[in-house]
Structures are given as structure tokens and as C-alpha cells.
Structure 1
Amino acid sequence: MKKQKFISLTLLIFTGILLMAGCSDKGSGEGTSGSREAPSEITYATTSDAAGLSPIDTNDSVSSNVTYQVYETLFRQNPETLEAEPLLAESYETPNENTWEIKLKEDITFHDGTPFNAEAVKYTFEQLKDPERAAPRASLLEPVESIEVKDEYTIVLKTEEPYGPMLASLSHTNAAIVSPKADKEGNINKKPVGTGPFVFEEWAEGDHITLKKNEDYWREAPEIETVTFKVVPEVSTAISMLETGEVQFIDKIPSDHISRVESINNVEVQKAEGTRVSYLGFNMEKEPFNDLKFRQAVSYGLNQEAYVSQLNGLGLHNESIIGPKVFGYNEEAKSAGYEYDPEKAKQIIQENGYEGQEVTLLAANRDNYMKMAEIVQSQLTEIGINASIETMEWASFLDTARQGDYEMTFLGWANSTADGSELLYPNLHSDNIGSSNYMRYDNSEFDQLVEESRTSVDQELRKEKLHEANLFAIEDAPMIVMDHGMVTLAHHESVDGLVVDPTGMWSLYPVNRK
């Protein structure tokens, strides 16, 4: 929009009168160069509603986008280096390999006015570990044997064995500290109460979630007054709303739509290599999926490059479960998977009596998972396996997959800690069957390797053990990597300070509207 260099005094006075009278029309004639909202407001379009708003009780990226603005963790990852830095913590020390003494920042309150202190941290971590609560990311603190309050602002975590990824785990969104009072007296999965820069306002399920600026935030208050998470199930509709200014940003842009988004005037696009891995998982408690021969046949029959080639540059082909941006990656694992060989796949199927095998592919109703399902269905048909596709809405899909009520499914892991131990342990260690180990994989040899990668503070040794565990899982194939993703985000040019990091997370705290 061109700016006039000279405006008469009369026009300025007239404009001021109109504004005071409330006669301005925010949306008319602005197209993509303006916004239908006041500059102090920002709206994000999400294709799925949150599963919940408690960091203890959820484990999905849609929910985390909201909780990341409301709650805070003791440590946070530097968005550039992905190394842990203090947030609610002031400092820490390790008197010995099994003890972490963490000093907390003082004079911080939760949104309900109750104090943030060591008792609140102890309560949160005990809830995260409580078997009855069955937190999906209890694995973050599984090695912690005791949680002690040394004084009002000092918490002591003790482990039975050294725990190498401790700071990475304490930086994870699901290790965020909740208000004990709010959790005891209400339902923080519906009405979250944290210490973060934004305060929960309302949740109209299936439509929107609204947050308000935390005027009493312990750091400088954010500039954005109101944040709206708008549920827009159709990606094309969300993009149209970005184009017209009804929403100011979107993320996780599907590959089929990236060129359209990049062509919109006054919209800026961020793309970078990320930590996310997407994969095809087998239910290891059901036949024939618990047969290595069957999994090998599927592995030989899948051409992941055919899928990646359709991602328009938003995915990378790499056989390694641990991706290049994640701690523990070794280049040797890049080509360690089963190469694409449909003839060999057919031979294994015929030799083991699996010709014509009926299987169901469970997929969440998201563009990327649906694309995976369609490609895999076609490729399985070519090698003699009859695959059908079952689709579900996101929250229902998560419940179904967690309960093991499927045969084969498509999943992703954001790798929010960017640590290989916190990829392999929650997804494939037998401790987490029924929670984050959707494949229900149970292998003692693999478990031992992963445990060795966690129970050391020697980072080079951890890398060695992670590489061994990674190669083991690739060969045993409880999951087959489909791609390692790129992180994407598109925002209107009026939005300043919004950056997506390699884990796919973004904070609205530093954001303002120009």
C-alpha cells in the first residue's frame, strides 16, 4: 500500500473525528496488506483443535502450541543452538552424578495469584510421574527417584543412575510447571493456569481458544494483547484467511500448498530443516505385524523417496530414526534401512504366506498423514498386500493409537528436546507401552542400549549408545521412517518477532504488530 507524502491538516482532523466516533472500517479495501484485527491482536489458524490444555495430560503438538504460551519450564532451549538455558530456574549444580540441585527464580506468581516455588515444582513433577495419572510423557522424569524441597526456592532431583538428558527433559513443554491450587481444585486440561506471558481466557471447543496478555508477567509484559487459536479444518481455507488478513499466521504448511503461500503478497514464509520425524508404525502386539519377515517385506516394498519427492522440498529422505538435527545422529545410519526392492518384498510375502494379506492403515485426518497413507496403500498393493485406509479426527486418533486399537498407523515425533534418548526411549522402550510407545515395541536388548544412552553424563558415550540403539531399531523395523521434516511458518508482514525453531515450536512472547 503506497503512503502519501502530504496530508492536509483538514484531513487529519477529519480522520481523528472518525476514529473517536468508532466509525472506522478495519477490513474494507485492505486485502492482504492489512488485518481485520487491531494491531495488538493476533490470530493463528490451526487445522485441529487442541486435545487438552494441561502439559501433564497431553502430548501433541497442537496442544503444545497453546500450553507453550501459558506455562513455562525450568529451562528452555536456545532456538539457535537447542541447548538448555535457565527460564524459571535461576541456576543449577550437580553435587554428584545422581543429584541435580536447582535454584528457582523468586517473586513469580501463577495466573491465579498463588506463588511459584519449590513446592509447586515438586507437585508438578510428582503428578507427571504418578502412575494413576498416566501422563503420556511421564518418561521425561522416569529416572528421577526422589523430588525434595530443600528450601522455598530450591528443588533437588535425585536419580538412581546418572541421567544425561536431564536438562533437555526439563526444557520439554510437557515438563512445564502448573499451579497446584488450580490442578487440585479445577481442571487444568480445560482451564490452564501457568506462569507464562499469556493467560487463558476461553475455549470454545471445535472453534477457538483465546488467550490474554499477562499484565503481571514476571518479565516485561508481552506487547500482544489477545491471541486467538482459530480452528480451521481445511488448509486451503486457512490459507485464504491468511491472504485476506483474517488470520496473521499459520505453520506446518502442507507441501501441496507451499507454492500458493509463497505467492501471497505481504506474507513472509520461514522454512528450515527441523527435528521432526514421521514414520509408519506397526502394532507389535498383533499378527502378522509382530513377525519380522512381514515388517521386512513392507520395508522392502516401500519407496519413501516417492513420498518425499511429493513434498516440494519440505521433507528429507533419511533411513535413520534419529534425524540430522537431533543429538545422537550418525551419518552411518542414513542408509541403514531396507532398500526399496519390490521383487524381494514379493518373494518374502510368498515364502511366508502373506500374499493377499488384509491390513488397515489408520491415519489422522491431516494432509501429510493422508498423503502417506495413500502412497503406502498403493505400494503395498503392488507387492501383494491389500491395504485399506481408516481416518480419524486428531484427538480420537491419538486415543485409538495409544490404546493399541490399530494394525498399522502413521505418526510423527517433534523431538522437542532434540535429544535422541528422548526420541528412542518414549517411542520404543517397553516402559512406555500404553503411553508414548504406540508401536508397543518390547525388546530387552534394545531397551538396554537406550538405558545406557540415558544413564551417563558422558556425552560421547551417549552418542555411541544412541547410534547402536538406532541401528538396532532400524533393522528390527517396528517403525519405518517416511521423512525428516522441514519446519514452516507463514505470517503477515505486520507480524514482527515470530520465529519457528527446528523443533517446530514458536513463542508469541517476543511478537508485536507493526
Structure 2
Amino acid sequence: MLIFTMVFIGFAVPFAYADAPSTWAKDTISEAESILGQTDVLHVGQGFDPRTLDPHNTNDTPSPRVMEQIYETLVNQNEDMEIEPGLAESWKYIDDVTIEFKLKKGVKFHNGETFTSKDVKFTLLRALESPYVGHVLGEIDPNGIKIIDDYTIQIVTTEPYAPILMHLSHTAGSMLNEKAVIEAGDDYGFIPVGTGPFKFDLWITGDSIELTKFNDYHGEGAMVERVVFKNIAEAQRRFNELKNGQIHIAYDILASDIKRIEENKELTLYRDTNLTTSYIGFNVQNKPFDDVRVRQAINYAVDVDLIIEAAMEGVGQQSNGPLGPNVWGSNQELQTYEYNVEKAKELMKEAGLENGFKTSIWTNDNKSRMDIAEIVQNQLKQINIEAEVKVVEWGAYLDGTANGEHDMFILGWSTVIADPDYGLYPLFHSSQFGDAGNRTFYANAKVDELLDKGRVEIDPEIRKAYYLEAQKIIRDDAPWIFLNIGENLTGTRSNVKGFSQHPTGHHQLSGVYLE
């Protein structure tokens, strides 16, 4: 959920109310400490503070995990990634570009305002202007959003757009209340208002976010009174707090802790393939990475199995292309790049670079990624490439890779709607350079054509054929070193009931209770 919906593994952005008195901080910290012994409070540990709770100002992973509890969308994707009603009870196509939605009545925002079609229009227009998520809903025609009545609205796309419902289920489609957004101004991301089963209470920057049960929720209410999201950046500490009973749920468990959880009767492990793909990207605008032979050579020179075993500790499976097997339309017939140093040397010689060159590999301060960078650094020496590993602060990392300041970099992407448009268009279309997702600055006219056709084709079989071909070209062009398809690894205390993982990694907690 970058992202974007990439998936990114963490943001940490400082925030404070500049005019708040010092007693505010003392009071909130005291309150946070006092609830630790309560049985009606669910404590959840994740690796980073959200960047913001404004769904239009980020597309990372930590933020939507909290936003999922606060906001709702017109339609939902269930754990099988099937579309279901959300704040829209029903919908129908008027023509190839127009969908009419009937909204659920009696829905209240956390500030007491009633949810109507006006909020839908306000939300969509605001989302379209966002540099972070505008691309998610970008096919919606801003002049084609028509309010029929308070509970009926029509949404028009600029052309037929097959995955529109999936995109509306994205966090970018979280329904906002216009009054709340305007009143909060620039602070909205830190005092959010939604229609979800939990409402925002307080945020102790760098420490925790607390949500409370929304008693006027229109659906089945939350099972606990409060949820506390604790910012526990160090994975080992996160596991220890889970083991010691200081938190009930720990996201992003290390592979090294899997066995320890499985052997502990007080703990439960949830392990499921998710929608993320990890990769090492090349800046294909920089020499010598503008030569496909060099990119292919590096793919052959890198032992991905070793990386998965050593740096990822066996979690996930090697990817053979940009999409994982649980994304509709993924091409699972593609061949992986085998580990073949001699083949790599041949390609380097063809490119006139048998003596190698100097380059750099960017990573943020994520241990797994730093380990990956070091392994690749050592393996590239076999083909005379001298690679410097640069560890860059997360914010600077995102800015730098968006601006094309890098040679090679390590990131991941989550195709959170399980549709190939979301997993391919932002990353490989030439119109998406930089912040939108294409940080390799890869451009291929045929790929652009296929991705454009795939967006507007209604027939699923024809559409799938476009995406299968596009993935074959991308695999051969090798703008990435294709690493692995990830897993959601979550540990819980054994008294946590009703928890299940969503492939997106954005797990709904309203049905969770403490036995």
C-alpha cells in the first residue's frame, strides 16, 4: 500500500499539535498506560507508525491497516478477493462507462453526519487530485459523477474500465465526510472521521494509535471496546511482547520466529500467501542499465533461491514475473531466471562489459533488504560488477527513487486488488514514472499498448491475453530482478478469537474478541 499500494514496509512521519499544551501529552500517555490490563482492549503491534490516516495522502502498508478499521468503501473485496456490497447496497451498469450505485441508508459518520451521495462525490473528486492515489481511481471522469438523489449516484469512467469495482474497494476509495475534512484542514490525517466500526481517539506519535468502538455503527458492531496499534519497529521486540502477553496480535513476524510460535501453546501463527512481490529494480534510464543484456546478465548472476533461504529465511516463493499466483491474470507459465553465472558472463561480454563496471544498490534500513543487498553485492563480483550498498532513510529513499537518483534499488509492491491492472500499470507503464510507481523508469511501447488495452477490454478472456503477453515482455526486458512472492505472517495470543488474514495485509479487526 509509495504507495501506494505498493506495498511498502514502513513510514515514520513525526507529527505534533503545535498549539497543544504540555498536559495534553501527559494525559494521553497516562491513558495509554492505564488500559494495558483491560480485557476489552485489543493490542496490536506493527512495525511502523502510519504516515497519515488520510487515505488520499499515502499508499503505504502501515497506514491502511489502521484506516481499515476507521473507513469504509462503496464495495469490498472479501478474503477470496470477490466483490461484495459495502456502503453501496447494490449497483448496475447503465452503459459501458456508467455505473449507478444505491447507497445504504442510515449510515452515520463518526462526527454524527449522515452519509449521502454528496460525500461520495466529494471523496472521489478529492481522491482524483491526489498525487499518491489519484492513479487508483484515475479512470473516473470528474465531470461524470452525477448525484441522482441522496442515496443514488452515478459514476462515469472516461472509457470502459473493467477493474473499476476492484479499484473502488481500494483504500483510496474510503468514504470521507466533507465537513470533517474542511474543518480539520491540514490536520485531517491526524484526526480522521469515517463510517467504520471503530473511530479515532488519540495518536501518540511514534508510540501508538488508539481507536474506540463506534456505538452508532450501521452494521454488526465491534467485539472489543478499544483497539491500540502499537508502533514496535524492532521485529524481535514485537515477538517478545506477543510472547510475554503485552500485545495480543503481532504483524510481520520474522521467519526465524515461526517455529517458536508454533511450539508455544499460548500462541497461534497465521501464515498465508499474500499479494506482494519483492524485487530489485534497475534505473533503466542510466547506463549501462539501458542495455537489456546487462539487466538479464544480472538476473542470471543472482541466486534468488539463496536470497530467499538466507535473507528471507525461507518465506515466500521465487517469482517468475511481476505478479503472484493469486492475482487474476498472472502468467505462471513464465520461466524464472536460473542461477547461471556463465550465461551472465556471456551476456556481459556481448554488451562489451566483460570487465564490469561500478554501481550502487539502494536499500532502506530494513534488515532483510540490507541482507539482500549484501548478498547481491557479493554475487555481482562474479561478473566484475562492483556494487556499493547505500542504506538510505525511508523518506529520502522514496524521494530519491521517485526522482531517479539511484542505479539499483530494493522494494516491494502489493497488488492489493488482485487485478493485473493494479500490479502492472503503475509499475511498468511509461506514464507512471516516479511517485506513481514506475521507479525503474521502464518504457516499452508494446507494453504500454497492451496495458492500455487491458484497462478498457470488458471480455475477461481477451483482457487476460493482453496481460499474459505484457508479462512475457516485461520478464524478458528484465527491468527487475524478480525475487519472491510474499506471505502474511501474523502471531496472536491463543485467547484471540475471530481473527483472519486478508491477502492485502489490511486485516479487519471488528470481529476479533478476547476469549
What interval of TM-score do these two structures reach, taking the shorter chain for normalisation?
Answer: 0.7 to 0.9
Residue in structure 2 matched with residue 261 of structure 1 by the alignment: 261
| Range with greater deviation from structure 2 (301-310 or 118-127) | 301-310
Structure 2 matches for 1:115-514, cutoff 5 A? 115-130=114-129, 133-134=130-131, 136-145=132-141, 146-186=144-184, 187-310=187-310, 311-333=312-334, 335=335, 337-354=336-353, 355-434=355-434, 435-514=436-515
- CA–CA distance in structure 2, aligned partners of residues 508 and 304 of structure 1: 35
Residues 392 and 214 (structure 1 numbering): CA distance in 2 closer, same or farther, change over 3 Å?
farther
2-side partners of 1:69 and 1:204: how far apart?
Answer: 18
Distance 2:403 2:110 in 1: 34
The separation in 2 between residues aligned to 1:509 and 1:254, in whole angstroms, is 25
Structure 1 residues 177 and 431: alpha-carbon distance in aligned structure 2, compared to 1, 3 A threshold: farther
Deviation string 1:318-372 (CA, Å, 9 cap, x unpaired) is 3121211000023312x1x433221222233344354342222121222332232
AA aligned to 1:118 is S
Q: C-alpha separation between the residues in 2 aligned to 1:143 and 1:477?
A: 28
SS of alignment partner, residue 140 of structure 1: coil
- Higher deviation after alignment, 344-353 or 449-458: 344-353
User: Is the CA contact 1:147–1:158 (under 8 Å) kept in the aligned structure 2?
Assistant: yes
One-letter amino acid matched to 1:173:
T
Seen in structure 2, the aligned counterparts of structure 1 residues 127 and 285 have a Cα distance that, compared at 3 Å, is farther
- Following TM superposition, by how much is the alpha carbon of 1:395 offset from its aligned partner in structure 2, in angstroms? 4.2
Structure 1 unaligned regions, length at least 5 = 1-26, 28-34
1: CA distance between counterparts of 2:126 and 2:492?
37
Alignment check: 8 A CA contact 1:346 1:384 kept: no
Matched-pair contact (CA < 8 Å) for 2:499–2:511: yes
Secondary structure at the aligned position of 1:257 is classed as: helix
Displacement of 1:498 after TM fit?
Answer: 0.9
Q: Hey, what's the Cα distance between the residues in 1 that align with 2:424 and 2:236?
A: 35
CA distance in 2, matches of 1:364, 1:156: 43
CA distance in 1: counterparts of 2:179 and 2:440, whole angstroms = 36
Q: Residue 178 of structure 1: SS of its match in structure 2?
A: coil
Give the drift of 1:313.
4.1
1:373 Cα deviation (Å)?
Answer: 1.8
Displacement of 1:109 after TM fit?
Answer: 2.0
Aligned position for 1:12: none
Q: Secondary structure at the match of 2:189?
A: coil
Distance 2:223 2:248 in 1: 15
User: Which shifted more, 468-477 or 196-205?
Assistant: 196-205
Compared CA separation, residues 245 and 393, structure 1 to 2 (3 A): farther
Q: Residues 184 and 283 (structure 1 numbering): CA distance in 2 closer, same or farther, change over 3 Å?
A: farther
1:484 CA displacement: 0.6
- Residues 46 and 252, structure 2, Cα contact 8 Å, conserved in 1: no
- Distance in 2 (CA, whole Å) between partners of 1:403 and 1:469 is 25
The residue aligned with 1:110 is: 109
CA RMSD of aligned residues (A): 2.0
| 1:65 corresponding residue in structure 2 | 65
Distance 1:392 1:67, change over 3 A: farther
In the alignment, structure 2 segments of 5+ residues that lack a partner are 1-32
Q: What percent of counterpart residues are identical? A: 34
Aligned residues: 475
- What is the identity, as a one-letter code, of the residue corresponding to 1:338? Y
SS in 2 for 1:348: helix
The answer on whether the counterparts of 1:103 and 1:153 sit within 8 Å (CA) in structure 2 is yes
- Aligned equivalent of 2:12: none
Counterpart residue type for residue 122 of structure 2: Y
TM-score w.r.t. structure 2 length?
Answer: 0.88
2:73 is paired with a residue whose SS is coil
Question: One-letter code of the match for 1:184?
Answer: I
CA contact (8 A) 2:433 2:441 kept: yes
What's the offset of the Cα at 1:398?
Answer: 3.0
One-letter amino acid matched to 1:300: Y
TM norm structure 1: 0.88
2-side partners of 1:392 and 1:226: how far apart?
36
Q: Name the stretch that deviates more: 240-249 or 343-352.
A: 343-352
Given that residues 198 and 212 in structure 2 are in contact (C-alpha distance below 8 angstroms), is that contact kept between their aligned partners in structure 1? yes
Deviates more, 1:268-277 or 1:347-356: 347-356
One-letter amino acid of the structure 2 residue matched with residue 458 of structure 1: D
- Deviation of residue 68 (structure 1)? 0.9
Over 3 Å counting, the alpha-carbon distance change for 1:285 and 1:461 in structure 2 is: same
- Structure 1 or 2, whichever has the larger Rg, is 1
Between the aligned partners of 1:83 and 1:191, the Cα distance in structure 2 is 31
Cα 1:439–1:188 change in 2 (3 A) is: farther
- Which deviates more, 415-424 or 375-384? 375-384
For residues 371-429 of structure 1, give each alpha carbon's deviation from its aligned partner in whole angstroms, at most 9, with x where no partner exists: 32222222222221111222234444333333333221111112110111110012211
Alignment correspondent of 1:20: none
CA distance in 1, matches of 2:345, 2:383: 5
Contact 1:51-1:395 within 8 A present in 2 as well:
no
Secondary structure of 1:139 counterpart: coil
Deviation at 1:312, TM superposition (A): 4.3
Matches of 2:422 and 2:468, distance apart in 1:
14
